[in-house]
Each structure stands twice: as structure tokens, then as C-alpha cells.
Amino acid sequence: LYRVCGRAAASSRSSLPAAMADLDAAEDAAKELLGIMEAFPRFKERAVDPLHPEGERGALVFRGPLKLVQTVSKLTCASKASTVGDRFKALLSRSKWVRQEELEQALDGADGLDGLDGRLAAYDPAREYVAVVVAELQRGPACWHQVGGGHPASIEDSGPWLYVLDHGTSRAGRRPGFSYTGSLRPYRVSPRRPVAEGILLPDYAADGDPRAEQAAPARSTPPVVSAAQAEKLRAVCRMGREIVDAAHRVIKPGVTTDEIDRVVHDKHMEFGAYPAPLNYHNFPKSVCTSVNEVVCHGIPDMRQLEDGDIVNIDVSPIFDGFHADLNETFCVGPGVTQKKKDLIKASHDSLMKAIDACKPGFFYRDVGGII
């Protein structure tokens, strides 16, 4: 900041506060724009790729006076449009593709170029893009830049994808800070998927508060079901098994957990069932996907599964007044360690032994001891 504003101070000491204020305002607007680009997973394919020949190296450059940068930033961030073309109409109409060999001349004299050459040299045009925002200030132009990622074509063109905060009650454009115990980090989460018309909604579908569950007698006294009710339970449990199997079929390196959520959600819609996790205590998705060190109730997001991961799929369809709940842990690719496989086997063996003990006269309280 001292280096950037020093020029303004050299010409007029009194203009230093104004120069600093303009720089701060430009930085806020530029970072908001770059952040909202990242929040739309198809931005590269829909906005950047059509502007240049395949494989050509360069950057998407948006340049203008401070007021224009602020206005475009506010319009883009405040818009309710969910597709790239509609959300970024103002930005793209004032942006252009600049080839790598022409960027130095196009950005000549701008502050903030440090690191841009390295990004241009290192990024992969097939799956990444470079974006540059330049604000023309009284003291001269200043720029901000980032490398953004493309995503598989199976991901729908919708956004913004944001980080989930406060147990699902709020969203943010920046990753939350936390004392993470492993290498896994949260990624952006897609907007909520709609439920088909005609599917019976639980009371928490609108506001996240499961009032009927909290008042249910079954919380203190396990219900005994009739033969007819048992058949309904079997039907919804078979449905749950089919949903888990559908999720299993798409698990492989490179698939996002959000794509697993899409498959699971669509399978629920096909059956006419409501996915119980959706908005339960504000949970934002239709399935829990718990990868590696995530113990349970992981939120599907933009992260792509990697060879060597393990992922638990936990589904809970509600249909015809009854509710199934089952999960299974799957290996991703051939690189899963023996230690992870041993964990899966120990969990599975514990489940099977507990199921074997379930018969009339057995105490619920003793299931945990067997496990």
C-alpha cells in the first residue's frame, strides 16, 4: 500500500487519504467480482472459452474507471440471475480476451501485476482461466487477478455456489476458518435443488424446524408397527437401497460430491419420495457425503473425489408416511489404503453382528455393546 500510494503523496501530501480510500474501494469491488466468478462453476465454459481459440493462453480482462468497476460489481453481486449469461451480462459486455503476449502492453503501468506472469505460465487452459480486473484511479491503474477453475460439463449452469456457515443457516463467498485436523477442506455448495410437485413435504421443508419430530411419542417409546406398516417400511427401505446403489454407480475419481447429490435427489424425485436431509435443521442437500476424515453428515460440494478417498453415502427417503435411513462407505479408485479398507470392514462387520442380534426380546440398549 505504501508503494502504491507513494506516487500520490509525492505530488500532493493532502491527496494521500483520498488515494488510499480509492484504492481500498477498488480492491473491494475487484475482489467481489473475482469471487462471484468463482461462485459460478460454469463461468469458464460459458463466459471465457467462447472468447478465444481453444488452448490459447491469455486472460479475461475487465478494465474501467473506479465508478464503473464498482457499479458492475454491485450489479453482478446483487443480481438474482442464476445462469452465467444472465448474471454476468454487464461484466462480459465490458470485458475482452487478451492474449498472453499482449497482456504486458495492455496492463502497462498498472500496480498489482506481481505474480501475474507466474499464473499465466502455470495455469492449464483446458481446465482453468485467468481473470484480471483493472481499476483506473487518479494515481494510475491498479489490478487484481486470480486463476479460476472449470468444472465437468455435468454440473448445471447455476449459481452462486457458496460456502455453508452456521449449521446451514447462512452462506458466504469465502471459505470459513477452522482448526482442521486433516487435509480436507470445505468447497462451495450449489443452490438448493427443487422438490417436484406432488411430493408430500415434511414440516421442516420450509423453515428447517422439525416440530413434529420433536413432539413425537417415538422419541421416548419405540413404536411397534403393524403388519401393514411393516410392509410400508420394507418398501421405503428397498427404495433407500436402490438410491444408495444409484449413488455408488457414479462414484469415481473426478466426480464431485455435488454430482452424487444430484443423482440421489433425482432418484428421490423419480420415486416420489422426499429426501429427509433436505433442510432438516437447515441441512442444504438431499444426501450426506462424508469423505475421509469427515465422520458423518458431510455436505455435498464442489470438491472432486480423488483416487484413494473413501466416501460414505447416507440416504433417508420419506415415502407414504415412513422413513428409511441407510448408508454405505465406498472406495474411490484403486489407490485406497489397506488401513481405510480395514476401517470399512470393521464397520460393516459391526453392523452385521448387531443386525444378527435383533429379534423379539432383545434390548435396544444392547445394540451399542455389540458394536
Determine the average pLDDT of the residues in 330-343.
98
Burial 168-177 (b: 16+ CB within 10 A, else e): beebebeeee
Contacts of 83 (CB under 8 A, 6+ apart): 46, 157, 158, 159
pLDDT at residue 7, as a whole number: 43
Closest CA relative to residue 263, chosen from 238, 240, 246, 241? 246
In the sheet that holds 317-319, the strands lie side by side as: 274-275, 317-319, 322-323
Are the C-beta atoms of residues 333 and 306 closer than 8 Å to each other? Answer: yes
Task: Count how many Cα atoms sit within 13 Å of the Cα of residue 191 in the half-sphere of its side chain.
Answer: 14
Contacts of 272 (CB under 8 A, 6+ apart): 196, 198, 199, 319
pLDDT at residue 144, as a whole number: 97
Does the pLDDT at position 11 exceed 50?
no
> What whole-number percentage of the chain has pLDDT above 90?
81
Q: Tell me the pTM.
A: 0.84
Determine the average pLDDT of the residues in 197-217.
94
pLDDT per position as a tens digit, 102-119: 998 889 889 999 999 999
How sure is the predictor about 222, in pLDDT bands with cuts at 50, 70 and 90? confident
pLDDT at residue 175, as a whole number: 87
pLDDT per position as a tens digit, 141-154: 999 999 998 777 77
Are the C-beta atoms of residues 175 and 186 closer than 8 Å to each other? Answer: yes
pLDDT at residue 219, as a whole number: 86
Strands 317-319 and 322-323: antiparallel
In the chain, beta strands by DSSP E = 58-65, 95-99, 128-137, 140-149, 163-165, 170-172, 274-275, 288-291, 310-315, 317-319, 322-323, 326-331
pLDDT at residue 3, as a whole number: 35
Q: What is the mean pLDDT of the chain?
A: 92
Q: What is the sign of the dihedral through the CA atoms of 298, 303, 305 and 308?
A: negative
